[in-house]
Amino acid sequence: MDTDDSVKEEQHISKDDSNKGGDEPKCFHLLNTLSDLLMLPKDMLMDRSIRTEVCPSISLPLVKRILCNFTPDEFCPDPVPGAVLEAVNAECIIERRLSGETSSSFPYAATPVMYTPPSSADVAEKVAEAGGTSQLTRSAS
């Protein structure tokens, strides 16, 4: 092993260590934010300033849904206290009334899809363009 090789290797290792800092972009931003939210003590989630500091990209209705669907496991064996759910729900209702929102569910319902079949003239034209004979023409019988 050459001395130049060992110096290059040490520089490469130190560059790798410096890249492990906060400079790397996070690939799963929402997942990381959700993880931060669930790591907090649940009673801290009653405070709006803490919620917006820890998870600014998660809206209040989504926080409410996450907390309602939370299932205790080996990492967090305690369920979400009822007082926390009530406080978040009350704040969600107040926020909805102040903003004038009429929809009360997440995800929001989409308008139904309307299918309009193509006209027979359009179909006959496309079949003719494709080189086939159109069987949609009416013949007098």
Pseudo-torsion of CA 118, 121, 125, 130, nearest 10°?
60
DSSP state of 118: P
Pseudo-torsion of CA 111, 115, 116, 122, nearest 10°?
130
Neighbours of 65 (CB within 10 A): 17
Residues in the chain: 141
Supply the pTM of this predicted model: 0.51
Question: What tens-digit pLDDT sequence spans the chain (141 residues)?
Answer: 455 554 444 444 444 444 444 545 566 788 888 888 888 888 888 888 988 888 888 888 888 998 999 888 888 888 889 999 999 999 988 988 888 765 555 565 667 888 888 899 998 888 888 875 556 566 666
